[in-house]
Amino acid sequence: MSESTGKTSIKMIVGLGNPGNEHREDRHNAGYWYVDALARKYDGHVRPEKKFFGEAGRFQHKAHDLRLLKPDTWMNRSGSAVQAMSSFLKIMPEEILVAHDELDLQPGTVRLKRGGGAGGHNGLKDIIQHIGPDFARLRIGIGHPGDASRVTSYVLSRPGSKEDELIHEAIDAAVKSVPLLLGQGFERAMHKLHSRGSKPKPYRKKKSEIADKGKNASIADEDSNAK
């Protein structure tokens, strides 16, 4: 990524989620939904690829050739798939964009971010353990159930119809921002996405929840692995 030109060099887009029909409509699969929407919009495709531990594919936009990946390793083991594909294709962490569900943003909100920590998300945590923290993130708001003890069941269930509509509107906006991201850079795409429509306030954790390290932290094993 060149800071002097403001241009991004994203070469690989990863959508996080859990495999299987039973998880297809879970909130936790918002990253999968994003990659599927990208493939539809830009005539790309994803298909099973054993050496990358997931569904892999690509699409082209003008001079840009982007790789797509949907790990099928379960959420908390996503890093092995990301590392396998990026190492094989010699793609650097800063050239990777990871799309994931975000509890701290309301449905309808989507945010771009460069680097950072896992924020309690075990999919991100595992990727960081495999390739470090320097990859970019697309944070897709799914809202918070309001109680840390309900997070697991919340992310592993489908959103209501209105929430689902808002989440997919946000995903659509993120998909439409890809030409801007590739052509004019991360900052321009970030500004466009972050200034769209209304800005729902992020969920604010209560003191009791801050003390509880489980926010999304139990996100690990088939129930555990799926989280």
Tell me which residues are annotated as active site: 28
Look at residues 8, 21, 40 and name the one whose alpha carbon lies nearest to residue 168.
40
End-to-end CA distance of the chain: 31
Handedness of CA 99, 100, 104, 105 (dihedral sign): positive
Residue 136 CB contacts under 8 Å (≥ 6 apart), including other chains: 8, 10, 94, 96, 97, 98, 112, 113, 114, 115, 186
Query: Residue 16 phi/psi, 5° resolution?
Result: -90, 145
Quickly list DSSP for 89-143.
HT--GGGEEEEEEETTS-TT-EEEEES---TT-HHHHHHHHHH-S-SEEEEEE--
